[in-house]
Amino acid sequence: MDLQLKDRIVIVSGGAKGIGAAIVRMLAAEGALPVILDKDAAAASALESEFLKLGAKLLIVVANLAEAKHCRGAVDQTLQKFGRIDALVNNAGINDGVGLENGTPEAFIESLQRNLFHYYNLAHFALPALKKSTGAIVNIASKTAVTGQGGTSGYVAAKGGILALTREWAAELLPHKIRVNAVVPAEVMTPLYRGWLDTFPNPEQKLKSVISKIPFEQRMTTAEEIASMAVYLLSGQASHMTGQHVFVDGGYVHLDRALT
């Protein structure tokens, strides 16, 4: 299947590790030119070395996206390098444990800065270029936006906002033929998820407990499975999809737990 992504310039925030890196690799496999935005310089450099060995092209922008000026700078660097932007994948974020009881108003705002504000900022600054290319936006959200989790008010508020903005932007950008969709993962083994598991006294027991509740095949969703959907939604094959929240979770959110 031709996804019609060859030579397309695609910005991926949080693209150096986990789901973001899987999306970057899949874009490159389809002939696109990924732009990795990430604050982890070492991880970004390692991914760049991998691409250079394969002869693939990409652009690395090391930036803390919590600040709007860095989002603007990342977009400007992309335009200086390539002259256009064809798509944006908003992905960067961290479940930082800022809850109602164990947080503060200041920590809540900081959590939104880490997890939500840069989604808006990158889309805002990239919009003139996306209008020219009639591009697409994919937002990576989380099942916690619809299920709750407990103890993560900042992260969950951000992910709920991301789902709302997906619908809002899809409506606002209809006249410009810019499609906007969201991918909603549940349980995906990433470096951040591994770090969360390691906070438990028995991480492997906790992992088995989580997996036992995933209806389809009782296994974690892979980062590559999330990437496949994200890249598909960016592609010409999804040309009439916009405003959608697509759950890639093995039935975790919507199927009866009795099935497990």
Provide the mean pLDDT of the chain: 95
pLDDT digits (tens, 9 = 90+) for 204-255: 999 999 999 999 999 999 999 999 999 999 999 999 999 999 999 999 999 9
Contact 112, 154 (CB under 8 A): yes
CA distance 81 to 153: 38
pLDDT (0 to 100) of residue 3: 93
pLDDT (0 to 100) of residue 106: 97
pLDDT (0 to 100) of residue 9: 98
pLDDT (0 to 100) of residue 54: 75
pLDDT digits (tens, 9 = 90+) for 158-185: 999 999 999 999 999 999 999 999 999 9
The answer to whether residue 115 scores a pLDDT higher than 90 is yes
Largest Cα–Cα distance in the chain?
54
Classify burial at 247, counting beta carbons within 10 Å of its beta carbon; exposed 0-12, middle 13-18, buried 19 or more. Answer: buried
For the chain, what percent of residues have pLDDT higher than 70? 100
Say if strands 245-248 and 179-185 run parallel, antiparallel, or are unpaired. parallel
Domains and CATH numbers, the chain: 9-186+222-248 (3.40.50.720), 189-220 (no CATH)
CA distance 214 to 17: 24
Classify burial at 107, counting beta carbons within 10 Å of its beta carbon; exposed 0-12, middle 13-18, buried 19 or more. Answer: middle
pLDDT digits (tens, 9 = 90+) for 15-61: 999 999 999 999 999 999 999 999 999 999 899 888 887 777 789 99
pLDDT (0 to 100) of residue 193: 87
Single-letter residue type at 111: S
Write out the two tokens for 17: 């590790």
Q: How many residues belong to the chain?
A: 260
Task: Using alpha carbons only, give the angle 34, 89, 181 rounded to the nearest 5 degrees.
Answer: 140
Contact 142, 185 (CB under 8 A): yes
Classify burial at 40, counting beta carbons within 10 Å of its beta carbon; exposed 0-12, middle 13-18, buried 19 or more. Answer: middle
> 59-68, 187-196, 219-228: which range is least confident on average?
187-196
pLDDT digits (tens, 9 = 90+) for 196-207: 888 899 999 999
Query: Which residues does the annotation mark as catalytic?
Result: 155
Say if strands 59-62 and 87-90 run parallel, antiparallel, or are unpaired. unpaired
pLDDT (0 to 100) of residue 49: 87
pLDDT (0 to 100) of residue 109: 97
pTM of whole model > 0.85? Answer: yes
Section 110-133 average pLDDT: 98
